[in-house]
A and B are shown apart, each in its own frame.
Chain A
Amino acid sequence: MEAGAPDDPAGLVDHYFRHAYARLVATLARRFGLGALARVEDAVQEALLTALTAWSLRGIPRDPGAWLYQVAFNTLRDQSRRDGAWRRSAERLAHDDVEAPTEPSLRGELHDDELRMLFVCCDDRLPAPSQLALALKVLCGFSVREVALRLLTTEENVYKRLTRAREALREHDLDLDVVPDLDARLPAVHAVLYLLFNEGYCAASGDSLVRHELCREALRLGHMLLTHEGCDTPPGRALVALFHLQCARLSTRVDAAGELLTLAEQDRAGWDREEILLGLRWLEASASGAVFSRYHAEAAIAAEHALAPSFAETRWGEIAALYALLDRTAPSPLNALNRAVALAEAHGPQAGLNSLEGVRLPPGIAGYYLWDAVVGDLLRRAGSFAQARDCLSRALAGAPTEAERALLRRRLTSLPDAAPG
């Protein structure tokens, strides 16, 4: 990071404090142990608050990362000296030259500690709901309130998830110094990043800009993964390709009134060409090796959409085939649903409906609103208005966000009143 001139504190790059927080927490947690994670987070928070006043008055130091590190490190070292229960840290620190930290600059290209922290957050010994909350807190630097806002839950719930995460860290004595078995653990890391991205992408809630940050963070962490030799795998590249390609469409997914736009309604001129190019480049780079992951299939589908000059000119046959391929790597009834949509565009709504015959939703997601929404739309287009009305009404009742409900209401009002069966 280029520090601003002393009189220009605003010259700090965007999100400096957020990312500095993540790096400092990861570096110091490695040094003081994950058992001290809460203390580390407090010390880093305090260092940032100290910086806020000091830098505002005196200007930004030449190496802001080193300055912050030193301040937080000293706080933790003083605490550990006072607190005998902190044996482990004390032992560790005894071997280090505490007066001169060996990590002078935290702007480094090698985000090794953050990467280790990412693996810890994705450890399956942590309860699944806690993984995402912990990643958002310590890797993305969101406060409890901000995490709650982004995961559409309460602060109390986030607090509980974080507490359970910290308990699991202690219970299983997880350690940032233990290098994880990368091959075995990468799929879990990919899955969490994928989840993180979709939290920001799928549910367009009232404040979509806030949630888009989740997409950006997933992309940042995905790239961080790829900078590490052992983590630079074809599925990881495909995942990053998928993120870029989806990010290209982020700003066109809602209209001026905040209503969700369908793919057909989106202004393709507004798609970010640079993101599309990056996505295509990473997709190409992901093609080496024998592994074909679900991320390859999904990125290929996203690429088809990104390259189509218009909705009508989309290669729907290709997309239907890719969904069939996706279903083989990651089986889900939703793949059949998406394939039906593509087939409907290629060969008419009835072809789509026919392809769904015999596909059954597992009990867990029966009544999943998306299923009703899509089938309802296909029925509407096939002229089966009464059935369409039933389906769309069910979808409306189950839709989780206002933007999605608005879209369904528009569909419902477009149905003719005297509906033939």
Chain B
Amino acid sequence: MQKYLFLYRTPTSDSPAAPPSPEQMQAMMAAWGAWKAQFKDQVTDLGDGLKPGGRVLLAGVVTDGAFIESKEVIGGYSIITAGGYDEAVTVAKACPINHMPGARIEIRELAGL
């Protein structure tokens, strides 16, 4: 079994994608509960959400909110255990974040040396 990092990339408010309505958001939160229950064997670490903003260091120079111009940010991450990318993709496909317009999941296998 391998471990996979799920990076949830979500649109910023600058994004052209229409934000979900409050009703849709309410429904999505309920769907997350069902997803977690369905894949409880694969979801090793639910991870966390990430707040907007932050600091970026480039050659020792600190800037804040450097990604403010971008159309998406990393909104959160989880760690999934799966037998391979196919299984990881199956888990990702069922993730309710897919219903958020403009949201993406990036799947990366942990090196686990």
Contact = CB atoms under 8 A, between A and B. Distances in A.
Interface string B65-98: 1001000000110100000000000000000110
Contact of B13 (A46, A53, A74): A46
A42 B13 contact: yes
A233 B46 CA distance: 52
A141 B68 CA distance: 24
A47 B33 CA distance: 21
B65 to A, nearest CB: 5
A50 interface: yes
Contact of B14 (A42, A54, A74): A42
A146 interface: yes
A220 interface: no
Interface of A is mostly: helix
A90 interface: no
B51 A17 contact: no
Given A16-B26, A49-B11, A74-B53, 20 more contacts: A9-B30, A12-B26, A15-B22, A46-B13, A48-B25, A49-B10, A49-B20, A49-B100, A50-B10, A52-B20, A52-B28, A53-B8, A53-B75, A56-B96, A57-B48, A71-B51, A143-B18, A145-B18, A145-B21, A146-B21
B22 A18 contact: yes
A207 to B, nearest CB: 13
A53 B25 CA distance: 10
B43 to A, nearest CB: 10
Contact of A10 (B8, B13, B29, B76): B29
Nearest to B43: A57
B50 interface: yes
Contact of B26 (A17, A47, A143, A145): A17
Contacts of B52: 46-47, 50, 71, 74-75
Contact of A58 (B46, B65, B96): B46
B29 A50 contact: no
B51 A50 contact: yes
24 contacts: A7-B36, A8-B33, A9-B33, A10-B29, A12-B26, A15-B23, A15-B26, A45-B13, A46-B13, A49-B13, A50-B51, A50-B52, A52-B100, A53-B76, A56-B32, A57-B48, A57-B78, A58-B46, A58-B49, A74-B52, A74-B53, A75-B52, A79-B65, A141-B22
A57 B46 contact: yes
Interface in A1-42: 7-10, 12, 14-18, 21, 42
Contacts of B22: 15-18, 21, 48, 141
Interface string B1-42: 000000010111110001111110110111011001000000
B30 A49 contact: no
Contact of A75 (B33, B53, B97): B53
